[in-house]
Amino acid sequence: MKATFALALLFPFFLLAEDAVPERARLKQLDAYWTEVSRAVAAGDFAAYEATCHPDGVLVSGAKKTSAPLADALKRWKKEFDATKSGAMKASVEFKFSQRLGDATTAHETGIFLYTATGADGKETRDYIHFEALLLKRDGRWRIVMEYQKTKATRAEFEAL
């Protein structure tokens, strides 16, 4: 009787432990996704960055109060990728997360990213942005479907994550 009772109490913990393994694997895959985004930005590798985006992706801008195809934003951003690749500027992006939801094929990531750009003149700009990202995993590959750049963030908020 005591053994049955003990097993009944432990059963939910075994279920949680089982769920933790796929979740760790999913987060590891998503961490690799964001690492590739950061690498592509720093290298000016436009093709690699574009490959992280779903062809029907959407960019939402809280500051501009707009929503538009991500493909349109990619066209605008390409010149910075080219300038980075040529060495005319330096760029980097770093992500920190406050919430990471999802399952084996979907992810909703919330946090702050820091985009840093240094122009040929040596002037550095740092933009901290609250963001949400919706990603889908298809054919073993994560891609962003929606990027919502919500509002400006502060360095203190970024460091607190």
Q: What is the 3-state secondary structure (H, E, C) of 69-106?
A: EHHHHHHHHHHHHHHHHHCCCEEEEEEEEEEEEECCCE
Q: Give the model confidence (pLDDT) of 18-41 as tens digits.
A: 467 799 999 999 999 999 999 999
Q: Which domains does the chain have, with CATH numbers?
A: 2-160 (3.10.450.50)
Q: Give the model confidence (pLDDT) of 81-130 as tens digits.
A: 999 999 999 999 999 999 999 999 999 999 999 999 999 999 999 999 99
The residue type found at 11 is F
How is residue 20 written in tokens?
Answer: 């933790």
Residue percentage of the chain with pLDDT more than 90: 86
pTM of the complete model: 0.86
Query: Using an 8 Å Cβ cutoff, are 115 and 38 in contact?
Result: no
Dihedral sign from CA coordinates of 117, 74, 44, 101: positive
Distances (CA, A) of 103 to 23, 26, 42, 67: 8, 8, 29, 26
Whether the pLDDT of residue 145 is over 50: the answer is yes
Query: Using an 8 Å Cβ cutoff, are 69 and 59 in contact?
Result: yes
Residue 8 belongs to what H/E stretch? helix 2-43
